[in-house]
Structure 1
Amino acid sequence: MKKIRFGLIGSGWRAEFYIRIAKALPQQFELTKVLIRDKEKGEQFKKLHGVEVVQTVEELEADQPDYVVLAIKRGIISGYLPKLFEKGIPVLCETPPGEDIEALNSVWKAYEKYQAKIQIAEQYFAQPLYAAWEKVIKEGKIGRVENINISALHGYHGASIIRRFLNAGFENVVIYGKRFWFDVTETYGRDGMIFDGEVFQCSRERLTLEFDNGTVAYFDFSDPAQYHSFIRTRQLTVQGVRGEIDDMTIRYLTEENIPVTQELNRIDLGVYGNQEWAHYGIMLGEEFLYKNPFKNARFNDDEIAVATCMLKMGEYVKTGQEFYSLREALQDMYISLKMDEALANPNKEIRTETQIWAK
């Protein structure tokens, strides 16, 4: 298989994912250069990560990468994209592609003007557990899905999984709810476990989303504790006509209407004496719902998902097969903005309207 060559714009926490993945899978990915406009910052980044750093898009483009990953601060992504579109550079863009409705519309107009090649690195659908859950839905095990309760992801990430699992497409939606505040003890951060017992106030966002196709989502997220906590965990329930996903438990009816209850079984190598260290897959009974496409790669779930986006981006550049289009990303961010509006207006019904990318 031909190696995927990509350039990178950005130097933050998320940009480092792409560097780690390229180093871990040199047979599949090659990082050409990293664009950092600040020369001094670029020199420090070069020494720290052992990568080639340039200061201009033209220098990045000179190596003719298959595509460029745009992983910069949220507020300036929408201003950067038209410049890449104009040059005809395929872009894998980190989320979100804009921070307000004006920016979203501007990006879409630039995309149409230049007939740009772009996909969005919204990775959660490609994480092992979410991919396994989606396989259960797509196989029809639980029948037609009618509602979802998700307490796992914030904003546009949550909107993405909600629309995907409900098959809501670009249906308009009524949103209402409220934000609450509760005390919680700190237990974990990006640098590891915390034992000082510090208590801080954490928001809890509770929203109901009623889509025009009759499906309903119950959104529940605690910010910032839920992503980094040992005492605030993830929960997901998806109910269909013939069964439900209840986090790690799957309940469904056979063709003879016999009720079956099974647990998802995660297979990780390198546990309890095994010599490897990698995620292998997720099973339901005798069936693999998900297999890690990167055999023996020492990745966490988010790195697996990002690497999957990188792989799918390479396929998109060659074949045009989309995996998370700009239209989808704009819709998810638009719904996220409307969710914020609903939280700012407690219990008031906020309705979306069909936007230019959804027509």
Structure 2
Amino acid sequence: MDAPARLALTGGGYRAGRFLDLLARLPGLFEVTGVLARSDATAAAVAARGLPVHRDLDGLLRAAPELVLVSVPAAAAPGLVRDLVGRGAAVLTETPPAAGLAGLRELWELHERVQVAEQYLLFPHQAARRALVRRGLLGTPTSVQVSSTQLHHATSLIRGFLGLGAGPVRVTASATTSPLADPIDRGGWTGRAEPRPRTTTIATFDVGDGRSALYDFTDTQTRNPLRTRRTVVRGSLGEIVDDTVVRLVDARTVVTSRIERRQTGHHQDVQGADLDHLSFEGEAVFRNPHVGARLNDEEIALAGLLQRAAAWARGEGPGPYPLAEAAQDQLLALAVGESLATGGPVTTGVEAWGRA
């Protein structure tokens, strides 16, 4: 893209603020044309950033954004997306794209004009792992274990590593509650060290054809430093456990290698704190395209997602995450909740996005 992509944004919550912070650090790539702010508090916060504030969609779209990022609660997203698409906008909507199955079905009618802001497969280490899986280093992928993030994000990782489409999946879930200290929240260190009840949900996914997945998530695990994040991908010729890769290279040789991270700014390195690249056996398998912007891993993933979404809106490339993928992620996440509620297994059906 030669000129900065013109983006508008709706919403004033935590995620919207994170996106605005990121966009401000990438001025050569993006221009924020305006923010829809329907409350006085949101309008004041947007104005304090020096950005144009709009109270209705007509005003937001008058500045001719190429892409509108919808960052509102999942229950409100389908109606807002429909209004935007009806006015001719290309939309990137937050995850999950709808709260329930009815909302997903409603949105599917608009899928040609909608992409979803699912970033987890674009995290540097996940992208590196997926690249190795796609090379066939593990043979045929057969199972995935994800213990790092919640529901639709986790099912995105599971489906991405296994290469799953939208066929039936048998989901069985259970939950337990136990004490856990939680010293960090979205606002930073809380100053609290006392354990509080937290729920751990474990779910198994039987995909058929010998393929399966395990979901293991404890409330607040995404940012709780007392719980590690874990990804395991197993295949017919080996496995990846976080950054360790074990594989069979011939009938008598098992090799163990690692995904290595090159991080600048340590000790006397004066380049500044940045991810440079991830390598595997001497070859770079992921390079940070935003060296110098000092982005954390999630921000690197989101920046890449926004760039792909802007290129899609301009007709210059495929979208970063089609609605069909995000809808299937959420369908599996909803099945976890249904299994918890009923106490038994749930088998998902094949929806319209699986028949397209």
Distance, in Å, in 2 between the alignment partners of 1:227 and 1:153 is 5
Aligned to 2:169: 173
Equivalent residue, structure 2, for 1:10: 11
Q: CA RMSD in A?
A: 1.5
**Equivalent position of 2:89 in the other structure:** 89
Residue in 2 that maps onto 1:296: 292
Which residue in 2 is equivalent to 1:280?
A: 276
CA distance in 2, matches of 1:72, 1:157: 17
| Counterpart residue type for residue 354 of structure 1 | V
Q: How far has the Cα of 1:223 moved from its partner?
A: 1.1
Matched letter for residue 46 of structure 1: V
Q: Partner residue of 2:246?
A: 251
Give the Cα separation in 1 of the matches to 2:183 and 2:21. 26
Paired AA for residue 159 in structure 1: T
- Match of 2:269, SS state, is coil
Matched residues, percent identical?
Answer: 28
Partner amino acid, structure 2, of 1:22? L
Q: CA deviation at 1:75?
A: 1.6
* Pairwise CA distance, 1:256: 6.3
**CA distances 1:307-338 after superposition (whole Å, capped 9, x unpaired):** 11100011212235132101111111111101
* Alignment match of 1:333 (pick from 317, 330, 334): 330
Name 2:69's counterpart in structure 1: 69
2:340 corresponds, among 339, 343, 349, to 343
The worse-fitting range, judged by mean Cα deviation, of 268-277 and 299-308 is: 268-277
Cα drift, residue 196 of structure 1? 3.2
Which residue pairs with 1:184 in the alignment?
180
1:269·1:279 contact (CA, 8 Å) conserved in 2? yes
Report the CA distance between 1:43 and its aligned residue.
3.7
Is residue 2:29 matched to residue 1:28?
A: yes
Per the alignment, residue 118 of structure 2 pairs with 122
Find the aligned partners of 1:196 and 1:29 in 2 and give their Cα distance. Answer: 39
Aligned partner of 1:21: which letter?
L
Quick check: 315-324 or 167-176, which moved more? 315-324
Moved more, 280-289 or 117-126: 280-289
1:32-63 per-residue CA deviation (whole Å, 9 max, x = no partner) reads: 1111122x224411343221111111111111
Aligned residues: 352
Question: Within 1, Cα distance between the matches of 2:47 and 2:61?
Answer: 22
SS across alignment from 2:75 = helix
- Runs of 4+ aligned residues of structure 1 deviating over 4 Å after TM superposition are none
State whether residues 165 and 354 of structure 2, in contact with CA within 8 Å, keep that contact through their aligned partners in structure 1: no
Q: 2: CA distance between counterparts of 1:179 and 1:59? A: 46
The CA deviation string for residues 151-179 of structure 1, in whole angstroms up to 9 with x for no partner, is 11111111111111111111210011310
Query: 1:46 & 1:178 partners in 2: Cα distance?
Result: 42
On the 8 A contact 2:35/2:60 being kept in 1, the answer is yes
Unaligned runs of 5+ residues in structure 1 are none
1:90 CA drift (Å) = 0.3
- Contact 2:108/2:353 (CA < 8 Å) preserved in 1? yes
